[in-house]
Structure 1
Amino acid sequence: MQQPSIILLSPPPLNNHITLLHLVGKLGVHKHIFNFLLAELCWLGVENSHYVSLEEKLGIFLYTCMTALPVQHIGEQF
């Protein structure tokens, strides 16, 4: 079964106007890896929430993993 492919052309800005591509670059994750992870999450049934897109959720998750900041500091960023 072929998984869906997702291409981010112009990602929406996060709350503090950091674009997802800027965030992905800071994490050291290549765009194609980010898109692969996004496709996997879609395939597993993870969806957008009312206020946060799946792309934003993944970006915030990766940022949290890479920076190892406390949850309170992550909340201040977003």
Structure 2
Amino acid sequence: MLLSGEEHNMRFVKTSKTYSEGRLRKRREDNENTLERRAMCDACMKMKTWTSSEVSSELDAMEPLEMEQNRSASTSV
């Protein structure tokens, strides 16, 4: 079936519009997924940074408390 030039153009415009909307939707979903992944990675990096650098200082801060608790426990016995 041959279409007139105008009918052909209308079909082409409708098809290409649907295609481009689908591509835009896919790109938007990909961007959202990337942002979610990036947020998770940032959270992981913060946890890793916290565990590697601050844990030692936290442990150093806890040692005097543990020593004092041990001293008070041995005194009360």
State TM-score, norm by structure 1.
0.23
Larger helix share, 1 or 2: 2
User: Which structure is higher in RCO with an 8 Å CA cutoff and minimum separation 6?
Assistant: 1
Which is higher, the Rg of structure 1 or of structure 2? Answer: 2
TM-score, with length taken from structure 2: 0.23
